Amino acid sequence: MPTLKEQFWDPVAGFGVTFRTMFRKVVTEQYPFEKLPTAPRFHGRHQLNRWPDGLEKCVGCELCAWACPADAIYVEGDSNTDDERFSPGERYGRVYQINYLRCILCGLCIEACPTRALTMTNEYELADTSRESLIYEKSDLLAPLLPGMVQPPHPMLLGEDEGDYYRGNLHKRDEEGDA
Amino acid sequence: MTATQDAGAVVKSDEVTLTIDGIQVSVPKDTLVIRAAEEIGVQIPRFCDHPLLEPVGACRQCLVDVPDAGNGRGFPKPQASCTLPVAEGMVVNTQATSPVADKSQQGVMEFLLINHPLDCPVCDKGGECPLQNQAMSNGRGESRFAESGGVKRTFPKPINLSPQVLLDRERCIVCQRCTRFSAEIAGDPFIELIERGAQQQIGIAEGAEFLSYFSGNTIQICPVGALTSAAYRFRSRPFDLVSTPSITEHDASGSAIRVDHRRGKVMRRLAGNDPLVNEEWITDKDRFGFTWARQDDRLTHPQVRDEDTGELRAASWPEAFAVAARGLKKAKGKVGLLPGGRLTAEDAYAWSKFARVTVRTNNIDFRSRPHSAEEAAFLASTVVLSTTVTYADLESAKRVVLVGLEPEDEAGSIFLRLRKANRATGLEVVSIGAVNTRGLRKVNGTLVPTRPGDEAKALTDLTDLDSSTVILVGERLAGVPGALSAAAAVAQRTGAKLAWVPRRAGDRGAVETGCLPALLPGGRPVADAAARVDLAAAWDVEQVADAEGLDAHGIVAALEAGDLEALVIGGVDPADLGIRKKALKKAFVVALEVRSSAYTELADVVFPVAPASDKAGTFVNWEGRVRSFGKVLDNPHSLPDVRVLAGIAEERGRAIGFRTPEAAWAEMTQVGPWTGARASAPEVSTGSHSTGSVQATSTGLVLASWKQLLDDGRLQDGDPHLAATARPAVILASAATLAGAGLADGDRATLTGPLGSITLPVAVGEVADGVVWAPASAPGASVRHAVGAAGDAVTIGGAK
């Protein structure tokens, strides 16, 4: 024979969590309709950065590919020429691919990058329906051109040589003008 | 090598016992401390030291502490272990046990890095760099020179030492490996140290390029990224390359190479280390000649000639096999086979068996150059199965006689061995030829000036030949009647060792596997009934055709005359054999080629076959040494010759019994060499030439000619940097000959021979009187097609 408590109080008490939660702030995110900002250091999609004049920071050294535990990055370097310059210095990344089917967004590539060319954004919407669309090319990864940046290829605008860029000794070059 | 009766005593006195890091080790006398330390597993850091170069002590990285030099007294300061020979009782402490040695090594490393740029991420050497590695293992984490603001000495970079070799001077640590290689090994001292102090750098004479056939080796031995190759620059990093050991397909040296590929594409080739063959050196052709296989004209699918339209159209493999088999069946044994000289031994064996078992003919000849019946007899009697001469024999010989062979152009690794032996033991090199070439001067050789055609007499007249002599005959001698007979006779008479040095990688393997009209696999003579029965039993066929087949000239003539109705052709340039298009159109032609060529356009069935990188196989080098290699790339678009021929044979109903190179090799081993009587050596007297080339009269000019290392060959296509290092095509003649023709050094002259004429610059060279030399093949100037073959009568005159 159940006691009175068991008969009347316990069934109500069982809904205690339910009733309490009804008056609390909701944690559910209405994701596709309402996009909330991530934590500031969230590891999202990669970005290939540019120098302030628009030249690419990537030198095609492949250290990111070497560091990658998932073998998600493929890089091919090539030589800059005086006519066609994509980055300060001799070498640039001609091919740069990140396979987001493989990438685990661990960020080891960012640590490996010697020129801070590769960083991560907070963009997390990395789902798609085809394999091809998830292999991001260099054009997909490059940072957008900000005001004052010029689409490469063009000569170095902010230094005499790559040393000026690497040392942060950026200044407007007298000759050359606008490329 | 000395007296054998007290070999024990010799060994005893030659061993030196010393103590390294507290461990006793006995090493041969004159060993350097740096290598004695390797014996006990201590790796002393080093840059300038290279086992094949003379010690120089340039980089000072290998400093060790020597508290006792073997006489009870120690060196007051650390010593460079790469220049210090061991002594009895010596005590050495390396960085492993001695803080003094460790500190001095760290100090030297700090000095070396003062001006070394921190551009490892963009440097081709990064990841496989001895400087990078040893800076980590034997250097300090911090540099005290950074306090100067980190300003380093810089140079504009890179500069071209040659079209192929680039120099970043700021990365150089002046170890002098490259200059020492050039001076000691290759003998092309075009680079040298210039300037002093911090400005000291590698330099070239003004306007002079680093012209050497071996320049690529300096890139490989450079311990920093100072020397890089134009072809590989920024293409890849060492950690994403997959390395496969392989064997070069460019010459008969059998040089070990390492093929590095990435994503189905060969990125570079390096020299392998095989002390018995090529040591650590290869020619630039071996190193850079790999782009040919990925040109746009690579065949990617079988083709057959459409019966209705008469055009080639794509076909499936089974269809192409069937069409080829039908055509060959229709020809009823009136078939010639020209496999060419590019085959692996397995492929050559498949060709040979295909000819005998499937087609049932002996009309097979791998030679697509001037050749003769005498040469075939020489190959059957003297060359096949013979391994009398090795690279080591070249080094230990007292004298090497070169006949019809220019090693620098035709066998680079032989040239390097001859030069090494000449420097080490004073090996005497004698060349019977018309030109005192740069290659001959570099081995301090003497020329026996000989007009082309007179080689046999010159060789017979040589005195002082004995068993310590090695005679190397080149394949060019086939064009000189009596020369190979004379070589065999001289070797027989004097006891001198004799070896035949072909140019192409597959030539010796084709001889061994019987791709010749009078020779069956394993050295079995066609004329020997016992050999035929032996082979028929091994192959499980009723009989092997007993009639000697046609040689390549015979096949071409029979095609022209319509006596042969079908031709199976491999890596052959039809122009070399003088095959006319009309003859190819008339006959049923089955072509096995890697890339589209002059005859694939005219063929009835075209099979894409795999280049050496896409198949496993074996090359037999000039020594007779078996050089097996594995597949580098998986390429589904082409098959090895073995598989193609097996497919046709099976469709024909006369299978050759294997489909893969591995199975072919297994069967070759099973069939084995012929142990019975060998064919007898040719006894052709001079002047009875079978190829019928025009022999010059004693008054006129004679053409001397051979193919230079870098020429217009299809296996060098696709690398402009390599092509730019080819030697320019010039006509060489003696000053008297030129004066007689009214020409001066540097003029342009027209050389006219039986086939036509060509206009090239002339230069004065050390050429026998009455002889004119011109390259048999050169980009845009193929004298062998435009003028004639060596030994032909020519005239020379001024060009307008």
pLDDT above 90 coverage of chain B, percent: 79
Is residue A103 marked as binding? yes
pLDDT for res A122:
95
Is the pLDDT reported for residue B365 higher than 90? yes
User: Whole-model pTM?
Assistant: 0.91
A159-175 confidence digits (pLDDT tens):
988 888 988 889 887 65
**Cross-chain residue pair A90–B234, CB shorter than 8 Å:** yes
Nearest to A77 among B119, B157, B234 (CB): B234
For residues B542 and B661, state if they share a domain. Answer: yes
**Cross-chain residue pair B234–A61, CB shorter than 8 Å:** no
When scoring A58, A62, A135 by the number of chain B Cβ atoms within 10 A, the one with the most, hence best to mutate, is: A62
Of B159 and B19, the structure prediction assigns the larger pLDDT to B19
For residues B257 and B365, state if they share a domain. Answer: no
B221-263 confidence digits (pLDDT tens):
999 999 999 999 999 999 889 999 999 999 999 999 999 999 8
A103-134 confidence digits (pLDDT tens):
999 999 999 999 999 999 999 999 999 999 99
Is the pLDDT reported for residue B692 higher than 50? no
Give, for B607, the enclosing helix (H) or strand (E): strand B605-608
**Cross-chain residue pair B122–A63, CB shorter than 8 Å:** no
Mean pLDDT of the B152-175 span: 90
Which of B86, B113, B140 is a domain's end point? B113
Is the pLDDT reported for residue A34 higher than 60? yes
Question: Residue B465 corresponds to which amino acid?
Answer: L
Closest residue in B to A59 (Cα–Cα): B122
pLDDT for res B142:
86
Is the pLDDT reported for residue B56 higher than 60? yes
Whether B126 maps to a domain, the answer reads no
Instruction: State how many domains chain B has.
Output: 5
**Cross-chain residue pair A76–B233, CB shorter than 8 Å:** no
For residues B624 and B665, state if they share a domain. Answer: yes
CA B613/CA B430 separation, integer angstroms: 37
- Helices B345-353 and B641-652, packing angle to 10 deg: 20
Which of helix, strand or coil describes residue B396?
A: helix
Whether B583 maps to a domain, the answer reads yes
pLDDT for res B8:
44
Of B679 and B345, the structure prediction assigns the larger pLDDT to B345
Whether B617 maps to a domain, the answer reads yes
When scoring B119, B123, B157, B241 by the number of chain A Cβ atoms within 10 A, the one with the most, hence best to mutate, is: B119
When scoring A59, A61, A73 by the number of chain B Cβ atoms within 10 A, the one with the most, hence best to mutate, is: A61
At B763, which CATH number?
Answer: 2.40.40.20
Closest CA to B609 of B617, B672, A5: B617
Q: Which of B10-14, B505-509, B786-790 has the highest mean pLDDT?
A: B505-509
Closest residue in B to A88 (Cα–Cα): B122
Whether B545 maps to a domain, the answer reads yes
pLDDT for res B65:
96
Question: Does any CB of chain B come closer than 8 Å to the CB of residue A91?
Answer: yes
Question: Does any CB of chain B come closer than 8 Å to the CB of residue A63?
Answer: yes
For residues B512 and B496, state if they share a domain. Answer: no
pLDDT for res A106:
96
**φ, ψ (nearest 5 deg) of residue B591:** -110, 135
Pairing of strands B303-305, B312-314: antiparallel
For residues B658 and B528, state if they share a domain. Answer: yes
Whether B773 maps to a domain, the answer reads yes
Which of B461, B480, B502 is a domain's end point? B502
At B434, which CATH number?
Answer: 3.40.228.10
B431-467 confidence digits (pLDDT tens):
999 999 999 999 999 999 999 989 999 999 998 899 9
Å between A51 CA and nearest CA of chain B:
18
Residues of B within 8 A of A79 (CB-CB) are 233-234
For residues B544 and B423, state if they share a domain. Answer: no
Å between A147 CA and nearest CA of chain B:
29
Question: Does any CB of chain B come closer than 8 Å to the CB of residue A78?
Answer: yes
For residues B99 and B9, state if they share a domain. Answer: yes
Which of B652, B671, B690 is a domain's end point? B671
- Note the Cα B773 to chain centre separation in Å: 23
Can you give the residue range of the structural domain that contains B425?
375-502
pLDDT for res B574:
81
Per mean pLDDT, which range of B80-84, B501-505, B526-530, B688-692 is the poorest?
Answer: B688-692
Q: What is the 3-state secondary structure (H, E, C) of A137-174?
A: CHHHHECCCCCCCCCCCCCCCCCCCHHHHHCCCCCCCC
- Helices B345-353 and B661-671, packing angle to 10 deg: 70
pLDDT for res B576:
86
Per mean pLDDT, which range of B357-366, B596-605, B638-647 is the poorest?
Answer: B596-605
When scoring A66, A81, A90, A109 by the number of chain B Cβ atoms within 10 A, the one with the most, hence best to mutate, is: A90
Residues of B within 8 A of A90 (CB-CB) are 122, 157-158, 234
Which of helix, strand or coil describes residue A114?
A: coil
For B639, the token pair is: 């098959």
B85: which strand partners?
B32
Is residue A64 marked as binding? yes
Question: Does any CB of chain B come closer than 8 Å to the CB of residue A89?
Answer: yes
Whether B307 maps to a domain, the answer reads no
At B260, which CATH number?
Answer: 3.30.70.20
Is residue A145 marked as binding? no
Mean pLDDT of the B310-336 span: 94
Which of helix, strand or coil describes residue B143?
A: coil
A window 43-62, beta carbon within 8 A of B: 59-62
For residues B93 and B218, state if they share a domain. Answer: no
Mean pLDDT of the A21-25 span: 92
B694-710 confidence digits (pLDDT tens):
444 456 899 999 999 99
For residues B165 and B218, state if they share a domain. Answer: yes
A48-58 confidence digits (pLDDT tens):
999 999 999 99
Q: Which domains does chain A have, with CATH numbers?
A: 53-162 (3.30.70.3270)
Is the pLDDT reported for residue B304 higher than 80? yes
Banded model confidence at residue B687, pLDDT cuts 50, 70, 90: low
pLDDT for res A163:
86
For residues B631 and B708, state if they share a domain. Answer: no
CA angle B165, B167, B172 (to 5 degrees): 135
Whether B549 maps to a domain, the answer reads yes
pLDDT for res B464:
86
Is the pLDDT reported for residue A29 higher than 60? yes
Closest residue in B to A115 (Cα–Cα): B121
pLDDT for res B7:
44
CA B417/CA B634 separation, integer angstroms: 35
Whether B725 maps to a domain, the answer reads yes
For B134, the token pair is: 């040893």
Q: What is the 3-state secondary structure (H, E, C) of B717-744?
A: CCCHHHHHCCCCCCEEECHHHHHHCCCC
Closest residue in B to A62 (Cα–Cα): B237
Checking phi first, is residue B80 left (phi over 0); if not, alpha (psi -120 to 50) or beta? beta
What mean pLDDT value characterizes chain B? Answer: 91
CA angle A28, A31, A36 (to 5 degrees): 85
For residues B629 and B767, state if they share a domain. Answer: no
For residues B521 and B658, state if they share a domain. Answer: yes
B188-224 confidence digits (pLDDT tens):
888 889 888 888 898 887 667 778 999 999 999 999 9
For B340, the token pair is: 């060419």
pLDDT for res B3:
42
Is the pLDDT reported for residue B392 higher than 80? yes
At B20, which CATH number?
Answer: 3.10.20.740
pLDDT for res B198:
82
Q: Which residues of B475-507 are buried (b: 16+ CB within 10 A; e: fewer)?
A: bbbbbbbbbbbbbbbbbeebebbbbbbbbbbbb
Is the pLDDT reported for residue B385 higher than 60? yes
Å between A44 CA and nearest CA of chain B:
25
